[in-house]
């Protein structure tokens, strides 16, 4: 589960309460929807909502597109959302019409969790967004910063490989759980990049307790995601907002408080170091030196953002890539051949990536097929605009169904099959990071795409270089995803066998 899915969730969790209300109120107004963009009609909508509850919204949206076309609108309580189902229209929305479609309107819960939209991903496009995005690119995620952070990534891959060897040292027949190691190492990297230090535990003064690393992960990464899912349905019915829900409010409030207290404690500890004159290459040190314009709340929110965003989507992508390779020995062997040819007896390094079209193809095909962000977090249209020749009024929300764009038979041959080789044909520009739009596009494009690419490709390449992978029995069918995202529900279980021409020693 990742932050983006949650942003999406918060806008589209319409489920049972909405249905109930529609039934209760017998809302006749639902037929007067945006008369311009084709609207999914009211009464059938209730049926579809039941469907939306049972299935993944990206799949339901794709189905509706069959009837209503590549752009249509649905009613979410009192607001209207336009859904886009084609790459061409997606580009129009993200690039051409950007100036009218650049803000966000998150749910109450998400607004609270992001300290009033203080994180880059939720901030409206404007001075604050531009400044903060420049900060994270200069300090952490841009090409030059990623060069400085190289050591953290090398350690990540090395550690995971060593843990995998340790796993099979005692019992070579048992299946390994890659996610466990990847998750820990990615969190360590997130802390190193954000704070300059890996933390085992911390005393949180505001809460009066010492938190272990596991608890810190829970509060900073897991809880906020789950919390945002507890979306307040009243968000969809602004005229119902006055109805108090103490239990919900308390829960989200306590989540936001704990998250803030821990992030603050982590920052305070490092500020002591900075005060001693010990500077480290990390986001916090950069932000503190630029801090003059940042409030304390903003500083806390930005540091937290970099931790939560680093800790999830890259893991999702890498785990699915390994799942597909373990499942398809043919593709795994082809990739191994490429690794042998390019790296010889050396360990695969970032410098090799440019010469490895097959590995790049595995990465892109995984993003296409298992996009970690199947629906781009809704944007808010703040001034009247046009899309696909339709008028779209201010006040509408818009979302792009990436899943549908990447499953379209018009753009992809046999889209329902995971096949990296499609990216090797001359039809596709192989090094283009953005053709699947997995990282969004335009001015709000993902800031972390380079990091995700470097970590995921080297890790996957190295895992295949060191071991032969085979799925555990039963894994083939085990493809459930977490609720509404593409996070694999159960960690992949696989058998690994060290390769004979092992490069380790």
Ligand X SMILES: *[C@@H]1O[C@H](CO)[C@@H](O)[C@H](O)[C@H]1NC(C)=O
Per-residue binder mask for ligand HEM (CB under 6 A), 344-383, x = binder: ----------------------------xx--xx------
Choose the one of ligand HEM, ligand X, none that binds residue 121, judging by a C-beta under 5 to 8 angstroms depending on kind. Answer: ligand HEM
Residues 221-240 that bind ligand X (CB under 6 A): 230
CB of 37 to ligand X, least distance (A): 13
CB of 257 to ligand X, least distance (A): 16
- CB closer to ligand X, 64 vs 217: 64
Distance CA 405, CA 46 (A): 25
CB of 347 to ligand X, least distance (A): 39
408 counts as binding ligand X under rule CB under 6 A: yes
Name the one residue in this structure whose structure tokens are 């890498």.
318
Distance CA 52, CA 142 (A): 38
Supply the angle between the helices 178-195 and 150-170 in degrees, to the nearest 10: 150
Q: What is the DSSP letter of 446?
A: -
Six-digit token string for 130 = 């531009």
Choose the one of ligand X, ligand HEM, none that binds residue 452, judging by a C-beta under 5 to 8 angstroms depending on kind. Answer: ligand HEM
Per-residue binder mask for ligand X (CB under 6 A), 101-140, x = binder: ----------------------------------------
How many degrees, rounded to 5, is the angle at CA 142 between CA 138 and CA 144? 80
Choose the one of ligand X, ligand HEM, none that binds residue 85, judging by a C-beta under 5 to 8 angstroms depending on kind. Answer: ligand X
Continuous H helices in 353-448: 357-369, 402-405
436 counts as binding ligand X under rule CB under 6 A: no
Residue 457 annotated as binding site: no
- CB closer to ligand X, 154 vs 411: 411
Q: Which of 16, 78, 172, 245 binds ligand X (CB under 6 A)?
A: 245
Q: Which of 122, 139, 404, 460 binds ligand X (CB under 6 A)?
A: 404
62 counts as binding ligand X under rule CB under 6 A: yes
Pairing of β 201-204 and β 209-212: antiparallel
Choose the one of ligand X, ligand HEM, none that binds residue 373, judging by a C-beta under 5 to 8 angstroms depending on kind. Answer: ligand HEM
Nearest Cα to Cα of residue 165 among 503, 449, 407: 503
Neighbours of 31 (CB within 10 A): 12
Q: Which of 5, 310, 396, 406 binds ligand HEM (CB under 6 A)?
A: 310
Stretch that binds ligand X, among 244-252, 279-287, 331-339, 386-394 (CB under 6 A): 244-252
445 counts as binding ligand X under rule CB under 6 A: no
- CB closer to ligand X, 84 vs 119: 84
Continuous H helices in 276-312: 283-289, 296-310
Nearest Cα to Cα of residue 403 among 82, 121, 66, 62: 62
CB of 248 to ligand X, least distance (A): 3
448 counts as binding ligand HEM under rule CB under 6 A: yes
Distance CA 384, CA 402 (A): 24
Enumerate long-range contacts of 244-250, CB under 8 Å, 24 or more apart. 248/109
Nearest Cα to Cα of residue 402 among 372, 446, 427: 372
Pairing of β 176-177 and β 385-387: unpaired
Stretch (H or E) spanning 379: strand 379-380
| CB-based contacts of 124, cutoff 8 Å, min separation 6 | 102, 103, 104, 117
Distance CA 483, CA 104 (A): 23
Residue numbers at the binding site for ligand X (CB under 6 A): 62, 65, 69-70, 85-86, 230, 245, 247-248, 251, 404, 407-409
Residue ranges of the annotated binding site for heme are: 446
Residue numbers at the binding site for ligand HEM (CB under 6 A): 4, 94, 120-121, 133, 136, 141, 306, 309-310, 313-314, 317, 372-373, 376-377, 438-440, 444, 446-448, 451-452
């Amino acid at each position: 589960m990742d932050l983006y899915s949650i942003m999406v969730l918060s806008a589209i969790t319409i489920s049972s309460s909405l249905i109930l209300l529609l039934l209760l109120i017998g809302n006749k107004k639902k037929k007067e929807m945006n008369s311009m963009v084709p609207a999914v009609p009211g009464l059938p909508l209730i049926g579809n909502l039941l469907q939306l509850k049972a299935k993944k919204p990206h799949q339901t949206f794709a189905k509706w597109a069959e009837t209503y076309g590549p752009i249509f609108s649905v009613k979410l309580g009192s607001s209207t959302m336009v859904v886009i189902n084609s790459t061409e229209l997606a580009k129009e929305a993200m690039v051409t019409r950007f100036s009218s479609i650049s803000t966000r309107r998150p749910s109450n819960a998400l607004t609270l969790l992001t300290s009033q939209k203080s994180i880059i991903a939720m901030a409206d496009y404007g001075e604050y967004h531009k400044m903060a995005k420049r900060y994270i690119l200069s300090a952490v995620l841009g090409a030059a910063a990623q060069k400085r952070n190289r050591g953290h990534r090398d350690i990540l891959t090395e550690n995971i490989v060593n843990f995998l060897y340790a796993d099979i040292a005692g019992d070579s027949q048992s299946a390994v759980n890659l996610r466990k190691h990847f998750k820990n190492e990615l969190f360590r990297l997130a802390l190193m990049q954000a704070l300059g230090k890996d933390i085992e535990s911390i005393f949180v003064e505001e809460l009066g307790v010492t938190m272990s690393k596991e608890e810190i992960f829970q509060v900073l990464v897991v809880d906020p995601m789950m919390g945002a899912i507890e979306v307040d349905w009243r968000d969809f019915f602004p005229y119902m907002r006055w109805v108090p829900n103490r239990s919900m409010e308390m829960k989200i409030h306590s989540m936001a408080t704990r998250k803030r207290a821990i992030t603050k404690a982590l920052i305070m500890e490092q500020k002591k170091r900075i005060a001693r004159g010990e500077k480290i290459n990390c986001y916090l040190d950069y932000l503190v030196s630029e801090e003059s314009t940042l409030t304390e709340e903003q500083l806390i929110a930005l540091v937290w953002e970099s931790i939560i965003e680093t800790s999830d989507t890259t893991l999702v992508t890498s785990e699915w890539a390994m799942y597909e390779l373990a499942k398809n020995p043919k593709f795994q062997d082809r990739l191994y051949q490429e690794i042998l040819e390019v790296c010889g007896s050396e360990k695969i390094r970032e410098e090799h990536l440019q010469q490895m079209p097959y590995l790049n193809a595995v990465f892109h095909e995984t993003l296409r097929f298992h996009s970690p962000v199947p629906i781009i977090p809704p944007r808010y249209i703040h001034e009247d605009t046009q899309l696909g020749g339709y008028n779209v009024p201010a006040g509408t929300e818009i979302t792009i169904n990436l899943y549908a764009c990447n499953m379209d038979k018009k753009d992809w041959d046999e889209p329902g099959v995971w096949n990296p080789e499609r990216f090797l044909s001359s039809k596709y520009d192989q090094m283009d990071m953005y053709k699947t739009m997995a990282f969004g596009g335009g001015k709000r494009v993902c800031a972390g795409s380079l990091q995700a690419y470097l970590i995921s490709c080297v890790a996957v390449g190295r895992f295949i270089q060191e071991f032969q992978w085979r799925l555990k029995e039963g894994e083939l069918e085990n493809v459930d995803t977490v609720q509404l995202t593409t996070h694999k529900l159960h960690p992949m279980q696989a058998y690994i066998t060290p390769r004979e021409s092992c490069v380790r020693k």
